[in-house]
Amino acid sequence: GAVVSQHPSWVICKSGTSVKIECRSLDFQATTMFWYRQFPKQSLMLMATSNEGSKATYEQGVEKDKFLINHASLTLSTLTVTSAHPEDSSFYICSARGGRGNLHTQYFGPGTRLTVL
């Protein structure tokens, strides 16, 4: 199946700093990428949807100025958590769709564990 990678797999940062997470589709071109957040023992929550070359669409309650999303190419999307605070500590997961003519399936990355001290 299609492969999606994320980098870094985990990151620890100080409160007030910014953190960038990369999401790459390794063997297909992703027309759309998604960013999710998952807190312990909870389900995935969709944060935003991004299409290559256009602005991301954020879900209700997600601050677009705090979670900056860039989808500059068909294989790369980045999520930047600006001025991170301890409450932003979470498991961030990206997904991509568009590979092999299959528009119904999302392929997920392995996730990035963010801890803000």
Q: Does 111 bind other proteins (CB under 8 A)?
A: yes
The C-alpha atoms of residue 3 and residue 75 are separated, in whole angstroms, by 11
67: phi then psi, degrees, rounded to nearest 5: -110, 95
14 forms part of the interface with other proteins (CB under 8 A): no
- Nearest to other proteins of 32, 80 (CB atom): 32
Quick check: 29 and 14 in contact, CB under 8 A?
no
Does residue number 113 form part of the binding site for other proteins (CB under 8 A)? yes
Rounded to 5 degrees, φ, ψ at 6 are -130, 150
Closer to other proteins by Cβ: residue 49 or 89: 49
Residues lying near other proteins in the complex (CB under 8 A): 1, 4, 6, 32, 34, 36, 43-46, 49, 91, 93, 95, 97, 103-111, 113
